[in-house]
Amino acid sequence: MTSIRKMMGRQWLPFLILTLLLGLSVLAIGCGDDENTTDTTEATDSTEASDAGATETTEADTQAAAGEGGSVHIGLIPWDEDIAATYLWKNILENEGYTVEITQLDVAPVYSGLARGDMDLFLDAWLPATHGDYWAEYGDQLEDLKVWYDNGLLTLAVPEYVDVQTIADLQGQADTFGGRIIGIEPGSGLMRVTRDEAMPGYGLDEEYTLVEGSTPAMLAELERATNNEEPIVVTLWHPHWAYAAYPIRDLEDPEGLMGDAEEMHAVARQGFSEDFPQVAEWLGNFEMNDDQLGTLEDLIINQYDQGQEEQAVEEWLSDSANQDLVNGWLGK
């Protein structure tokens, strides 16, 4: 009997093992179903989160496209009026929730960068003459947003206490001014026009010497002369902070030999007005006169050190009249 039972146990053992294995397989399948269910739920949650993220991104893009915040990249050339206007608009836009990046370049790379879309905005396009070649090359790829200053003049200037009103009045007065007209860099357009047009046209080329030098040297001579109330004639231009800093005025140019007034334009890459309609609207209201721009330039260029442009703008805006001006551009 015992041997028969042992044999029977051995015969049933494979069936027992098979039964246990089948049970374990069913259990594993059940657990697998639970895990698959969990994975499916997690995948669904992930998809929903992804969809939500996509919705948020779309909304952010829409806000940027509507000009509600976003990043504005401004090209800057190191001319006094452009430094002043650029840092003023940096202040304005940042206070309205925008991020502003400024890149300083020479004139040609600014125009080509705007045309490529590498930059968004440039506030100091001198037209029709000074930047005329660049406009002819790139103008059809840019947006002309606004003429914000229209008195870009080359001039001869004297102190207010000097009794001379026109360039023609300088004839016969060489002894009063030491026979000199104090100029700037010899290769500048201002020096060319003064030397080749105004001086011979008004009969001054035989009485006066046009002194070549630099803009800082000319301004130093102007400051010394006005501090001592001495007569002086200098080559100058509008806009310039010297008109706010010193008691000077332009000599009238009845023959128009110093050239016609130029305009300063705010220009942008193509598509800027569509991407930033609010900023484009504000810039469409942007205008400054000689006194407003001159006092801002004086602070930024003359009274604050390089790197302190933002502090200079803050001081300028602390004058309620200047803040009211800006509020008007913004429609406040």
- 289 pLDDT exceeds 60? yes
Cis peptide before 109 (omega within 30 of 0): no
* Residue appearing with tokens 């200079």: 312
**Cα(234)–Cα(221) distance, integer angstroms:** 9
The answer to whether 232 touches 225, Cβ cutoff 8 Å, is: yes
Tell me the β-bridge partners of 104. Answer: 76
207-225 per-position pLDDT tens digit: 999 999 999 999 999 999 9
- 288 pLDDT exceeds 90? yes
What DSSP string describes 280-309?
Answer: HHHHHT----HHHHHHHHIIIIIIS-TT-H
**Cα(233)–Cα(170) distance, integer angstroms:** 9
Give Rg (Cα) of the chain: 37
Mean pLDDT of 226-240: 97
Provide the pLDDT confidence category of residue 41 given band limits of 50, 70 and 90: very low
307 or 66: which leads in pLDDT: 307
| pLDDT given for residue 69 in this prediction | 83
121-127 and 70-76: which strand pairing? parallel
| pLDDT given for residue 50 in this prediction | 40
Measured in residues, the chain has a length of: 332
What are the DSSP E strand ranges found in the chain? Answer: 70-76, 98-104, 121-127, 142-152, 154-159, 180-182, 209-211, 234-237, 248-250, 262-269
- 60 pLDDT exceeds 90? no
Mean pLDDT lowest for which of 42-46, 102-106, 185-189? 42-46
Alpha helix (H) residue ranges in 212-329: 215-227, 242-245, 272-275, 277-284, 290-297, 309-317, 320-329
Comparing CA positions, the residue from 328, 282, 320, 298 lying closest to residue 83 is: 298
Cis peptide before 200 (omega within 30 of 0): no
- 63 pLDDT exceeds 80? no
Mean pLDDT of 13-42: 40
Model confidence, pTM:
0.75
300 or 61: which leads in pLDDT: 300
Instruction: Give the three-class secondary structure for 68.
Output: coil
Comparing CA positions, the residue from 128, 122, 129, 127 lying closest to residue 143 is: 122
| pLDDT given for residue 187 in this prediction | 85
Mean pLDDT lowest for which of 18-32, 183-197, 272-286? 18-32
Please give the C-alpha separations between residue 101 and each of 70, 121, 318, in angstroms, as whole numbers. 11, 10, 24
156-170 per-position pLDDT tens digit: 999 999 999 999 999
Domains of the chain: 69-151+263-289+315-329 (3.40.190.10), 154-250 (3.40.190.100)
Per-residue 3-state assignment (H helix, E strand, C coil) for 137-157: HHHHHEEEEEEEEEEECEEEE
The answer to whether 181 touches 258, Cβ cutoff 8 Å, is: no
Measured between alpha carbons, how far apart are the two ends of the chain, in Å? Answer: 110
Please give the C-alpha separations between residue 65 and each of 59, 97, 271, 278, in angstroms, as whole numbers. 10, 14, 10, 10
